[in-house]
Structures are given as C-alpha cells and as structure tokens.
Amino acid sequence: MKLEQMQIIMTGASGGIGSETARQLSQRGARILAVGRNKDALEQLLRSLHPHAHNRHLSFCADLSDDRQRQQLLLELEQQGCKPNVLINLAGANQLALFDAQSEAEIRRLIDTNLTATLLLTHALLPSLKLQPQARIINVGSTFGSIGYPGYVSYCTTKFALRGFTEALQRELSDSSIQVQYFAPRATHTGLNSTAADTLNTLLKNTVDSPSQVASALVKLLCSDASSHFIGWPEKLFIKMNSLFPRVVSRSINKQLAIIKQHAGAP
C-alpha cells in the first residue's frame, strides 16, 4: 500500500513524535486523522501540515483512556465518513519513579494510557479495518518493552504487554488483509521526559534521538513489510542479550542502580 492511499488515524498526534510523524506522512501524500488530548496543539498541527493537502486532514480531541471520549471519537469518524486503513497507536505516558513511590493513580494512568486505551481502540476499529483491501496497525512500544529497567517498572510493564499484544495480534490476523507491526524507539527528546529523566540520560551517556529521527524511522517501517523495528545501537544488542543472557544484562544495569535510584526519587 502506497502512502498516498493511506488514511491514517494516529493517536498521540499532538506530542513531539506524533506531530513530526504526521508532518512527514502528510508531505508524502497520506491523509492524517490526528487524535490527541491537546486541542490547541492539534489545531496548530493541522495548520503546519502539507498546505496542498490541508483540507484532507482532520483532528479529534479526545482522551482515549476515557470510555465516553473514545466512543465519541468512533462516532465522529462515522459521521465524517472517515474509513481509515491505517491505525498508529502512538499515544503514551511515562514516568521516572521508583515503583514503591508511585501512587495507585499514577500506575493506573500508565496502564490506561499505554495499554488499555490502545487495546480497546484497536478492538473497536478492527471490523472496519478488516473491510479494507489492505490495512495496517502499528503499535509504538519502547526499548523498555524488551528490557526491564529500574525506575520505570510500571512503564516497562505496559510496554512489555504492548509488545505481547502486537505479537499475538500479528499471528491472529496473519490470514487477513491487516498487517500488524511493532515499533520500539529508545530515549527521545519529548515533553514526556521529566528534568530528572533528561539528567539521568545525560549522566548514563544514553543516546537520545530527536522526534524527527524517530518519525523518519516510523515512516520507513510503515512503508516496509517488516514486522517490527527497534531503534538504536547498542540497544538492539542489549535486547538480544537480555533474551539470551539476562544475568549479564542485570549485572550491567545493577552497576547503574545507585544513580538511577537517586534520580528516580527526585521531584
């Protein structure tokens, strides 16, 4: 399927990676149905999209973790006559914090945003996606969906689950017209990161990508037949080592534990 044929519903479109991905896709002829929680950011995004295609794009302000708002989004899609053939599940939340210091509300927020909303929206859109000659679903996970990391216990849990959801759905839909893909960025410069998280990345000398770099890799995956794409080296190596030699990876991470705890406990 060519980008010019794609009508893409993208969640998290008002964020750093989402807005940049929308712009790159628009420039290459795709129609964007942008979903996010920030109405002003969505309106600004629409104004920034490829001018010749501006009228083709739509935005929907919704918190997809809220059942009523998610149902309202589906109703609006129907009323607008929108029949997306691509779903990019990009909406997400993150928090650097020690697990025993997180509140129940914070844990629920991460689960609802990163996992529950994604599953329920995908479930609701599957019937219409199955009617398309070709369709795609891309779930945006994380390197931390393959490597459990201190300070990100709740976040890792949601991303591990999202990766498992993607793998199972890939296999369940392998005899259908829908291709399911998994995309895993590493650390990225976005508004999701706290000052403490940025400082920790600097101290640990982690490579941090720009939203533009991540968006380019996401668009490349969308244009390919690959089942998944993981960004970064040595992150890809650590993921492989973690599956084969987890104790080796644990020893490496444990050496960082004191500094991680120091910043995970910072306000």
Question: How does the average pLDDT of the chain come out, rounded?
Answer: 93
Secondary structure class of 191 (helix, strand, coil): coil
What is the C-alpha to C-alpha distance for residues 130 and 34, in angstroms, rounded to an integer? 21
On the question of pLDDT at 55 being above 80, the answer is: no
On the question of pLDDT at 52 being above 60, the answer is: no
Confidence band (pLDDT; 50, 70, 90) for 54?
Answer: very low
Q: What percent of the chain has pLDDT over 70?
A: 97
- Pair 209, 231: CB distance under 8 Å: yes
Question: What is the reported pLDDT for 26?
Answer: 93
Domain 3-264, CATH number (from 3.40.50.11540, 3.50.50.60, 3.40.50.1820, 3.40.50.720): 3.40.50.720
Secondary structure class of 10 (helix, strand, coil): strand
Question: Which residue type is seen at 161?
Answer: A
Q: Based on the number of CB atoms within 10 Å of its own CB, is 192 exposed (0-12), middle (13-18) or buried (19 or more)?
A: middle
Sequence-separated (6 or more) residues with CB below 8 Å from residue 155: 94, 95, 110, 114, 142, 144
Secondary structure class of 209 (helix, strand, coil): strand
pLDDT in tens, 202-244: 998 999 899 999 999 999 999 999 999 999 888 889 999 999 9
User: So where are the chain's domains?
Assistant: 3-264
Angle at 161 between CA 165 and CA 156, to 5 degrees: 150
Confidence band (pLDDT; 50, 70, 90) for 180?
Answer: very high
Q: Where are the alpha helices (DSSP H) in 208-245?
A: 211-222, 235-244
Sequence-separated (6 or more) residues with CB below 8 Å from residue 87: 8, 9, 121, 122, 125, 129, 135, 136, 137, 138
Confidence band (pLDDT; 50, 70, 90) for 18?
Answer: very high
pLDDT in tens, 64-109: 999 999 999 999 998 888 899 999 999 999 999 999 999 999 999 9
On the question of pLDDT at 51 being above 80, the answer is: no
> pTM here?
0.94
